[in-house]
Structures are given as structure tokens and as C-alpha cells.
A and B are shown apart, each in its own frame.
Chain A
Amino acid sequence: MRLTQTTLARVRLVSQAVFLVAFFVLLFKSEFTGSFRGTSGQVRLPWPVSIFLEADPLAGITTAIATHTLYRGLWWSLVILVPTFFLGRFFCGWMCPLGTLNHFFSSLRSEKKRGKALLDSNRYKPWQAIKYYVLAAVLASSVFGALLAGLVDPIPLTVRSLALSVVPGLNYTSGALLDVWYESPSRWARLGADAAQFLLQGTIVSFRQPHFRQAFFLGAIFIGLLALNLRVTRFWCRAICPLGALLGLASRWSLVHLTKDPGRCDNCNRCLVHCQGGDDPIPGPKWRKAECHLCFNCVGDCPTCGIAFSVGPFGSNATTLEAPQAQRRKLITAMVAGAALVPLLRSTTGLEVEADPRLIRPPGALDELHFLERCIRCGECMKVCPNNALHPAFMEGGLEAIWTPVLVARVGYCEPNCVLCSQVCPTGAIWEITEAQKLGRPAATPARAGVPSPPEAGNPIKIGTAFYDQGRCLPWAMATDCIVCEEWCPTSPKAIYLVTTEVADADGNRKPVRRPYMDAKRCIGCGACEFACPVKDRPAVYVTSVGETRSKTNQFILPPAPKR
């Protein structure tokens, strides 16, 4: 039995490596690299890039609680959850990308974790119960329609941090190195740089260097979490992770147990040295099932075969604590706090009371209340946007909506023929739409079964409306021809129209100038005009959220009757 279980620790290592590599491959594949069949082809990603997010049971459960439904691929979360009922927290020890990263950083040499201090740090600590309180709070808030789980759920956290901060940072680094290389006068060196760029393209190097608002903070939080491992092995997993807590709870009746034979134990404490979960594998205290990641290190380390994993024994078991050790009073406090957070967050203005002009949601996004029931802030939509148009919100949607996607047209506009963000959104906060639905054109192929049409099918999806700042617009304020906005306007007929007006320039000469006007009924709010406007810092034409299709309240003109 011992040999098998030592082997299992190695198999676990391979599994961790495979899943981490898969996670990174899918992260890098969350970018349209430009190939579709035929010119009517659709911009699609051939890889299931959201599968880790869809397989996340916490995302599944919290959105299910908030919406009473399970969106599209979220049923993959059952593939993790149901086996956990039988086996325990295998996901944490074998599959979770953040768990694996924590595992790796925990294994680095640290002055704080040596000798007796190491053994002590790996004994169960009462603060490991904090994660159950975090879980209680995010579950309670999701009952009231606020998906705060996304802030602390390890899978969205990892995708968000890597996609919006770490990978762009690596892109910048390799770009800087490539630039030095390209500056070489030697043609051969430049060819080498070409080759290096070609090889890196599609991994850490994007076609265009991505930039994201708040990237520094997202990255700093992530690096801080990884650094905590140098103090306490897998601090995040043991103390904070609400997904780990959920899986610990789910393993209450699992069949796999650590059996201890105190008679064979010579108190060497080696089982503690590499313990990941802090679950007390040592004889003496009870083994804590809800904390164990099933890493199999302890059984491999035991020189006397005094401990082993086995199926059972069940029933009254003097050596196992099956239930997570969380205090009922604190659990209730956490639930009340999580629930109370929602009305507290929503007692401020925002939502339907005061629409923020900068809260421009991607096309396909549900109305704000339904959107907040689903968005887990994974950043996948922002990673995939080919124009780098989507960014994590700061206060645009209020504190509750922090890190949800907003369009920043000055950085990038919304490409009319692209629906990638709605393709990758794992929870339906950005509901899956087709190009035909987005453009308000008759569908070339019937919509997929079970995918309802957005409201007002027949009209294009409008995410906002563009306005002119006539004091900054060249034809309006400076008697200068420009109309780049009109050139870029993608609607047909164009939402921007021109009126030739005779004006006087600074020297008093009369000259005709084409002045742009906006037809708000045709404008879809894509932001191409704002993006292209030559007034670089504060553009003379800019998009605000008003008129967005998804909102019933954030409106200002009487719309035309829907085309039939």
C-alpha cells in the first residue's frame, strides 16, 4: 500500500503540472489570432478557453443561487463538485491552478519555515476556519443578487490577475528586449528578432501590447498572495479560499480517509513537513478531512507506514474530524454581514437611480441588476477583446461593481463584427450573442437552441451614445476640416452626418467647413469615433452609457419602432 501511495504523490505532481500548463495554454489562447474560414467567417476561438471558470463549483453555486439557473457551460462545475462528494478536496491538491502556484511558492526556501517553526506552521490553526466565514458571506450575498464571490474565488482571481497584469507585464518585458534586439544594425540580428517574436507570439506576446486600468493593483494583490506562502505554506488555500471551503464542506461524507496507526508512530513528525492543507496527519490530534488537499505527501514521508489513505472506516471514528471546524456563531455573523453588504452597497446612488456615463458595458451584457448577479470579474472578456477596449471598472458602477468590465473607447472601441466577449463569458453576465443579433441583421443561421434573442431583435445592440464636445472639435471650434469620426463610423448609413457651414478662420477669411452631428438613433455607442478623434487627451467626441439597449431606465430619446 505504501508504494502505491508514494507513487500517488508523484502522479499528483504530474496532474498539477498538466492542469497548470493547460490553464496557461487556454489563457494564451484567449486571443483572436486571426484565422477564420472565408470572409463571412465569424471571429471565434477554437479552444474552450473558459473551461476552468466553467468548472469552478463556487462560480456555479453562487450564480445558481443568485439567478436560480445554471448558465451554459457551468454544468462543468458538477464534474468537480460531485466527485468531491466521494473523494474530498482533490481539486485543491491536484487541479487548481492557484493551488499549484501556491504549492510551488510554498516549497521555496524560507527563513520563517525551518525546523520546529516549519512543523508548527503546518499544524492546524484555528484561523483556518476563516475561509468558511468568507464562504458564508459570499453565499449569503449571492442570495441577494450580489456576486461578491468573484472577488475572492481563486479561479477568477487567477485569470484576472494573470490576464490583466502578469501577462501584459511579461509582454512588456519581452517587447522591451525585442526592441533592443531590433535596433541592431545587423540584418541577421533583426531576422533573429523576427523569429523570436514569431515564437513568442501567441504566448506572452500579443499582437498589440495590452494595457489595463488598475493592472498594477491586480498584479500586486496576486504577487502579495503568492508571497504569503513564504510565511505559511498555502496560506491562501488554508485561510481564505472560499472555493476550498466549499469543497471542504462538500467532502463531509467522502469515502477517502487518512487512517493512523499510533502503534507504529515513532513521533518523527515527518508527516508534517510537506503537509499542504494543515490538516494534522500526525497521530494524536484528529485528522481534519475538510482541510486535506489529498496531496499524499504525508503517507510518502512516513518512514514506518503508520498512516495511509483508505476507503473508510466510517461511523464513529476516533481519529478523523469529518466536518469543517467553524463556529456556528461566527458563521451566522458572516452570513448576516454578507447579506447586509448588499443593501448597504445598493443604498448609495447608482444602478437605476443615477446612471454613470462611464459605465459602458460590452454588447450582450444583461441589464445591470442581472449583470451583477452573474459577473465573477474573471477578466476573460477583457483578455479576449481584440481592441483592448474592455477594462476592469473602478467606481464606475459603484463599489459593488469593482473589476467588472467597462468599455474605455479612448483605448479601444467595440468592433461591430466581433462577439468574442460574449462567447467567453462563463456565467452569462455577457449573454452569448451572434453577430447578426449585435448588428440587428437577420440571422444567417438560426440562433442556437436555448439562447434567447436579446431584447428588440431587429435593432442593433446599442451600448451607449456618442456626443460632441463642440469646444474641442476642430470643425466646430477651430474652423478646420477633420471628420475622422465620420470616416470611422461603422453604421450604415452613418450615425455621424456632416453639415457644411461657412465660418471665419483666425484671419477672418470665410471658408466652408464640414461640421459633424450625431444621429443618436443610429449611433450604437461603439466608440470608434472617440477612439479615432485626433484630439488625443480628452476627445471631442465621446461615448456615454445613455441609450444602452440593456437598460430600461438609462434612456433619453424615443427610439424608432423595432424593425420587423
Chain B
Amino acid sequence: MASDSPAADRREFMLRVLRLGGLSAATIGAGAWLHYRSDRPKESEVLVADRRTGVPADPNLPEMVVAQGESPEALVRRAVEALGGMRRFIARGDVVVVKPNIGWDRAPEQAANTNPQLVAEVVRLCQDAGARTVIVTDMSCNDPRTCFERSGIAAAARSVGAQVVLPDERKFRQVNLGGEVLTAWPVLEPFLTADKIINLPIAKHHSLTGCTLGMKNFYGIIGGQRSRLHQRINESLVDLTAFARPTLTIIDAYRVLMRGGPTGGSLADVEFKKTLLAGTDPVALDSYAAKAWWDLDYQRLPFLRMAQARGLGKMNFEEVRTTFLTV
């Protein structure tokens, strides 16, 4: 509205100047504040995980059990029993992650993924020992939705009441692995929050390391561009094992993919070894399996030597207390 007197006009002028002054002050203030906090974007925050998943050693019990027999379930039951029983590893109320190999879109007979019967039995043992929750998860290579189904592991684990976690991209947390070559990597969250970790790989042929066993199975706890790990595979394996600290390692060698691994596909490459290794020393177990089925001496596998140097276990499996069972 047009002012009708010089006085009103002056008042309107003053009010306007005040308003514009306020607006200017606010604009300059906001600009100054934004300018002050301007900084080069930082890397997203990286967690340092504090994890205690090991159990104390017991000199009266074996560190490794090699069991042979017809039934996968009986093998794992007897082997864990020989190690002192699942109650030695799992406390009442624990959250346990069971980490099978669910890497590939392959059926159990093709022996590219851990035997589903074995997974179910391990879940059951954990539950019997009083575990509150048993989580079964892995970061598959092929589409996880089909890998979890085709491997039979999702169905087997669910049938015994385990919680099956698909590696959704939102299930990862950026974590400092504190390794020699592996530092900030996305890790599947259950491995960060669980009280106990049971590593449940299947023994397979692999072109780069000769064979893929327990330590290599920990590739499945991380996401990100894993394909770069092969360039420093020995250091990567040690870094991952040092980070993962498995409570218990159980290597499935019931069916063994002797050639064409780790994907396989042809039944002609699968041999029935009907064996299971279980133990608390992840290095000795890998060393034993490499020797047993691929005739690879531990001296020829650099990751075993490096792992021993880091104190993760003994590379000479003859130095660990071993029990042989026929089930």
C-alpha cells in the first residue's frame, strides 16, 4: 500500500532497512559458518573392532582331531566331543556365527560349498551348548540368493532354527582390519558383534594357493573389491585370519573338489574323502589338509609360514596334539 504521509513513509523505510540488515547479517553469518566448516571430505569413519572370540587352551585336550566315517553328522559330533565338547567353546547365551563356504551357485554334490548336513549339525551342537542365537552367513561370489539356496545351506540351517543372514550391502561395516595389507574393509556385521565364530570351510582345489581351506574361507567375511586380494594372497589370508580369530575351525573334507576349484562343476573332479578336521589351531588344520589331499608341504605354502610368524598357530601339524578317530 502506498504511504499517505512522509512520516509513514520514513517509518516504512526504517523498517525495511532493519529487515534488510537482519537478512544481510543472517546471510553473511550463514556464509561465514559454511566457509569456516569447509574442509576436504573425509573418508567415512572406520571402526576398530575389539573382539575376543577365542577360548583358552587346554593341555589335556587335542588341538586337532581328524575323523573319518560315513556320516557327516556323526563325524562332527565325535570330533567336537574329542575336542572337549561344544560347551568348551560356546557359553550359555552366546551369539555364534557359523561361517560355511557358500560362495558359488553349486549343488552339494559338486563340493564347491560346505556340506549342508554339516552346517545343520554344527548349528544344533551350538544350540545344545546353550547358544542364544546361531547366525549362518557368508559373502557369496555368485548371486547370494541362489548360492544360499542351491548349496542347500539356507534350508538346512533354517530347518534347525539358525538365523540365515544374506550378505545385503547394508549388512557391512567399514572396519580397520589392522593387517599388513588389509586395513579399511567392509566387514559383515555379524562377525563384529558375535561372541564366537566357527569357521566351517570345505577343502577345495585352488589355482593360486594350491588349495582353499580354513584361512581362505575368511574371504567371505568381507565385502568390497575382494578381487584385489589375490595379488597379495598370502598376506591377505594371514591378515584375515588374524582379524577373524576363529573360536573353532571345522574343515569339511567329506567330498573334496580335487581339481577345477574353487568353482568346480564336474562330478568327475569330486572325490569322497569322508573326513573331517576340527581344531583350535587354524594353521595346523590347513597345513594338514594341504598335505593330505594335495601333497603340499607347509614349507611350500607361504601363508602358513607367515601365519606361524604372527602367532596364529603352528605350520607343522606334527607338532600339535592330534587325535585320529574312525567314526
Q: Within 8 Å of chain B (Cβ to Cβ): is A203?
A: no
Q: Within 8 Å of chain B (Cβ to Cβ): is A306?
A: no
* A39, B143: Cβ atoms closer than 8 Å: no
Give the distance in Å from the alpha carbon of A41 to the alpha carbon of B150 in the complex: 7
Chain B, Cβ-Cβ closest to A492 = B265
Pair count A-B, CB < 8 A: 99
Mask, A185-217, CB within 8 Å of B = 1, is 000000001000100000000011100000000
User: Of B108, B145, B231, which one neighbours A33 at CB under 8 angstroms?
Assistant: B145
**Which of chain B's residues have a CB closer than 8 A to the CB of A483?**
207-208, 230
Which residues in window 17-61 of A have CB below 8 A to B?
Answer: 32-36, 38-41, 43
**Which of chain B's residues have a CB closer than 8 A to the CB of A489?**
263
Distance (Å) between the CB of A288 and the closest chain B CB? 51
**Which of chain B's residues have a CB closer than 8 A to the CB of A480?**
231
**Which of chain A's residues have a CB closer than 8 A to the CB of B269?**
492
Question: Given the known A-B contacts A35-B149, A487-B208, are A481 and B166 also in contact in the complex, defined by CB atoms under 8 Å?
Answer: no
Interface residues on B, range: 35 or more
Give the distance in Å from the alpha carbon of A474 to the alpha carbon of B231 in the complex: 9
User: Of B146, B154, B169, B263, which one neighbours A488 at CB under 8 angstroms?
Assistant: B263
**Which of chain A's residues have a CB closer than 8 A to the CB of B262?**
487
Q: Within 8 Å of chain A (Cβ to Cβ): is B228?
A: yes
Most buried by B among A415, A489, A492: A492
**Which of chain B's residues have a CB closer than 8 A to the CB of A533?**
227
Distance (Å) between the CB of A466 and the closest chain B CB? 15
Distance (Å) between the CB of A109 and the closest chain B CB? 32
Q: Within 8 Å of chain B (Cβ to Cβ): is A491?
A: yes
Most buried by A among B116, B208, B230: B230
User: Of A179, A418, A481, A493, which one neighbours B266 at CB under 8 angstroms?
Assistant: A493
Q: Within 8 Å of chain B (Cβ to Cβ): is A71?
A: no
**Which of chain A's residues have a CB closer than 8 A to the CB of B266?**
492-493
Question: Given the known A-B contacts A41-B149, A491-B265, A492-B265, are A481 and B143 also in contact in the complex, defined by CB atoms under 8 Å?
Answer: no
Chain B, Cβ-Cβ closest to A491 = B265
Mask, A459-475, CB within 8 Å of B = 1, is 00000000000000010
* B105, A179: Cβ atoms closer than 8 Å: no
Interface residues on A, range: 35 or more
Question: Given the known A-B contacts A488-B263, A534-B227, are A415 and B142 also in contact in the complex, defined by CB atoms under 8 Å?
Answer: yes
User: Of A207, A416, A514, which one neighbours B145 at CB under 8 angstroms?
Assistant: A207
* B149, A514: Cβ atoms closer than 8 Å: no
**Which of chain A's residues have a CB closer than 8 A to the CB of B116?**
39
Chain A, Cβ-Cβ closest to B168 = A207
Give the distance in Å from the alpha carbon of A490 to the alpha carbon of B266 in the complex: 10
Q: Within 8 Å of chain A (Cβ to Cβ): is B246?
A: no
Q: Within 8 Å of chain A (Cβ to Cβ): is B26?
A: no
Q: Within 8 Å of chain A (Cβ to Cβ): is B72?
A: no
Q: Within 8 Å of chain B (Cβ to Cβ): is A498?
A: yes
Q: Within 8 Å of chain B (Cβ to Cβ): is A525?
A: no
User: Of A35, A193, A415, A486, which one neighbours B143 at CB under 8 angstroms?
Assistant: A415
Q: Within 8 Å of chain A (Cβ to Cβ): is B40?
A: no
Mask, B162-199, CB within 8 Å of A = 1, is 00001011100000000000000000000000000000
Distance (Å) between the CB of A488 and the closest chain B CB? 7
Give the distance in Å from the alpha carbon of A486 to the alpha carbon of B168 in the complex: 26
Distance (Å) between the CB of B46 and the closest chain A CB? 14
* B145, A484: Cβ atoms closer than 8 Å: no
**Which of chain A's residues have a CB closer than 8 A to the CB of B142?**
415
Question: Given the known A-B contacts A207-B168, A490-B265, A536-B225, are A36 and B149 also in contact in the complex, defined by CB atoms under 8 Å?
Answer: yes
**Which of chain A's residues have a CB closer than 8 A to the CB of B144?**
34, 207
**Which of chain A's residues have a CB closer than 8 A to the CB of B259?**
493
**Which of chain B's residues have a CB closer than 8 A to the CB of A39?**
107-108, 116, 149-152, 155
Chain B, Cβ-Cβ closest to A36 = B149
Given A39-B152, A493-B266, 20 new contacts (CB under 8 A): A32-B146, A35-B149, A39-B149, A39-B150, A39-B155, A41-B149, A179-B170, A197-B168, A415-B105, A474-B231, A481-B233, A483-B207, A487-B207, A491-B265, A492-B263, A498-B207, A514-B208, A532-B141, A534-B225, A534-B228
Q: Top 5 nearest A-B pairs by Cβ distance?
A: A492-B265, A34-B145, A534-B227, A492-B266, A39-B152
